[in-house]
Chains A and B, each alone.
Chain A
Amino acid sequence: MSARIEAQGVSKRFGSVVALDEFSLDVAPGEIFGLIGPNGAGKTTFIRILTGYWLATEGDVRVDGVSVTRERFRVQARLGYACEQPKLYADHTVDQFLRFMGEVRGLGGTRLRQAVGLSVERMGLESVRKRRIGVLSKGFRQRVALAQALLHDPALLVVDEPTVGLDPAQQIELRRIIAGFRGTHTVLLCTHQLHEAESICDRVALLDRGKLAALATADEIRQGGSLEALFLARVGRAPEVAVSK
């Protein structure tokens, strides 16, 4: 079960600041699609519009043909979202939090128990299931964020900066988990880590100053050298500048 994303001329303005400028995109079902770009390029803005958290100033995003502007709740029912710097309830245990999010997603009874169990197993959270989220390491909190996004088995998984602040082992593990969704779920991965996008994404869109600067498949990136080379060519500055946050 996977979903198609179609964005048509999406713009977002905050007063005189243009965060996203007529951005268009088409993500195929089952694809792992990367959104990269320097800070302030408009990646998170696009994700917030896609998830229905913000309204686009112009344009629209459709998920399987459903407009997020007009029917955001139908779109939200089809997507799971793990936002940047996981925003979770620190005073809940992992179990309480996942049960709460499952109930909010309309699950109950046996289905809820199964969904929580499956998410816990998928994300390797068994050992911390009864622990408070506030005392967990950043790596585990990221996993909890992903676990809640997967509870209702969404067709589309939106993940914003999942590996920021994680140690290398945790980064590798999380990338392995995300790559595992290829073909079964559509994944929109927003990241600063160029090697991460290069290693797990089928296609990558490079955003700069709210505009689409480049769109390339994994093969095209390999033929052109690396994603870093593409980044330098299109954005004109070193990606390290973008990585430092």
Chain B
Amino acid sequence: MIHRVLALARKELRQLFASPIAYVVGTAYVALTGIYFFQHLVSYNQLLFVYQSEGLTGGGFDQGTVPSQINVLNEVFVPAADDFGLFLLVVLPLVTMRVFAEERANGTDELLLTSGLRPWEIALAKHGVTYLFVLGLLAASAIYPAVVVARAGLGFEHLFALYVGQLCYGCAIASIGLACSSFTSSQIVAAVLGYSIPFVLLDFAWLTNTVSEEVAGRLKEIALLSHYGSFPRGVIELAEVTYFAGIAFLGWLASLTSLELGRAR
């Protein structure tokens, strides 16, 4: 059982890295996160410089003091988390769109589904490898911020929690994308759905004025962003991790259902 899942996972990894998409996505994500993290650090340093500057006595600031809201959390980690989350949302559907749809389009799903592989094993291997890719992507992108944070000697707990949050959030988005890919043989359709569904689930703030308070509250509970905010603050809450794991599980279940439904077509 595990032997078969591992064999399929190796095949998935080979295929993932045989196409340029993994390298393009990886490079783009690492570059974007590095540039934006650097930008937030620069902005934070500029603010500190301005507030601590001796020559600003006429500007309404108390000389040499920095307001409490100007801190590394608010100026670096919270905006970085928002940016990194958005980048994941942009790059991951490009990876997930291929995973099931390509098998269907090439007819190799017939090969897999008649070889004795259980549909749950196929879904597990494909989801597992994609989560592994998300982990690799985040690990590569964490090098630069980790070095900066380690040298500065502050905010390491924020960075760690931010990346745990990113992993949870990334796996949930990837899982939605994989579920979309499993229901179609068109990679374009898979990509469009893989973008649309997470964007709709991201935040329901745009709906709050048109629905009752109770409904707005419920929508907030299921919105992705509502569960992502605590991580950059250095807090890893079990409830939030469970929420993202739940989405990942539902995505896997949807992929499995799609494989089983294909038999009864």
A233 to chain B: closest CB distance in Å?
34
- With A87-B107, A89-B108, A104-B8 already in contact, 7 other A-B pairs whose C-beta atoms are closer than 8 Å: A14-B265, A54-B265, A73-B118, A89-B15, A100-B11, A104-B112, A148-B111
Is A52 close to B, CB under 8 A? yes
Contact count A vs B, C-beta below 8 Å: 70
Q: Contacts A53-B263, A106-B4 hold; do A88 and B14 have CB atoms under 8 A apart? A: no
Which residues in B have some Cβ–Cβ distance to A below 8 Å?
3-4, 6-8, 10-11, 14-15, 18-19, 106-108, 110-118, 263-265
Are B115 and A104 in touch, CB under 8 angstroms? yes
Q: Do A88 and B4 have beta carbons less than 8 Å apart?
A: no
What 0/1 readout, one digit per residue, does chain A (67-93) give for beta carbons within 8 Å of chain B? 000000100110101010101110110
Q: Which residues of B contact A91 (CB under 8 A)?
A: 14-15, 18-19
How many angstroms from the CA of A89 to the CA of B112 in the assembled complex? 11
* Nearest-Cβ distance from residue B5 to partner chain A, whole angstroms: 10
Interface residue SS majority, chain B = helix
Contact call B3/A54, Cβ cutoff below 8 A = no
Mask: chain A, 98-115; 1 = CB below 8 Å from B; 0 = not: 001101111010000000
Contact check, B115 vs A55: say whether CB atoms are below 8 A apart.
no
Contacts of A77 in B (CB 8 A): 116
- Report the minimal beta-carbon distance from A96 to chain B, rounded to whole angstroms: 7
List A contacts of B116 (CB < 8 A). Answer: 73, 76-77, 104-106
From known contacts A76-B116, A87-B108, infer whether A55 and B8 are also in contact, taking CB-CB under 8 Å: no
The one of A14, A51, A83, A104 in contact with B107, judged by C-beta atoms closer than 8 angstroms, is A83
CB A163 to nearest CB in B, in angstroms, measures 18
A-B contact pairs, 17 of them (CB 8 A): A48-B110, A51-B114, A52-B113, A54-B265, A55-B263, A76-B115, A79-B114, A87-B107, A88-B108, A88-B111, A89-B11, A100-B8, A100-B10, A101-B115, A103-B4, A104-B8, A148-B111
How far apart sit A87 and B116, CA to CA, in the bound complex (Å)?
16
Residue of B at shortest CB range from A102? Answer: B7
The complex places the Cα of A9 from the Cα of B254 at a distance, in Å, of 33
**From B10, which residue of chain A is reached at the shortest CB distance?**
A100
What's the nearest-Cβ distance from chain B to residue A194, in Å? 26
> Chain A interface residue count: which class?
20 to 34
The residues of A that contact B7 with a CB separation of less than 8 Å are: 100, 103-104
Known contacts A73-B116, A76-B116, A106-B3: A87-B265 contact under CB 8 Å? no
User: How far apart are the CA atoms of A47 and B107 in the complex, in Å?
Assistant: 15
Chain A positions within 8 Å of B, measured between CB atoms, are 14, 48, 51-55, 73, 76-77, 79, 81, 83, 85, 87-89, 91-92, 96, 100-101, 103-106, 108, 148
Report Cα–Cα, A106/B4, bound state, in Å.
7
Given the known interface contacts A55-B263, A101-B115, the answer about A92 and B107 at a Cβ–Cβ threshold of 8 Å is no
Min Cβ gap B258→A in Å is: 14
**A160 CB to nearest chain B CB (Å):** 10
Known pairs A104-B4, A104-B8; A52 contacts B108 (CB<8 A): no
B14 cross-chain contacts in A, Cβ below 8 A: 91-92, 96
Q: Which residue of A lies closest to B106 (CB)?
A: A87
> With A89-B15, A100-B11 in contact, is A53–B114 under 8 Å at CB?
yes
Closest to A152 in B: B116
Contacts of A79 in B (CB 8 A): 114
Contact status B4-A54, CB under 8 Å:
no
Residues on the B chain within 8 Å of A88, using CB: 108, 111
Choose from B6, B110, B263 the contact partner of A83 (Cβ within 8 Å): B110
Q: A52-B114, A89-B11 are in contact. Are A108 and B3 (CB under 8 A)?
A: yes
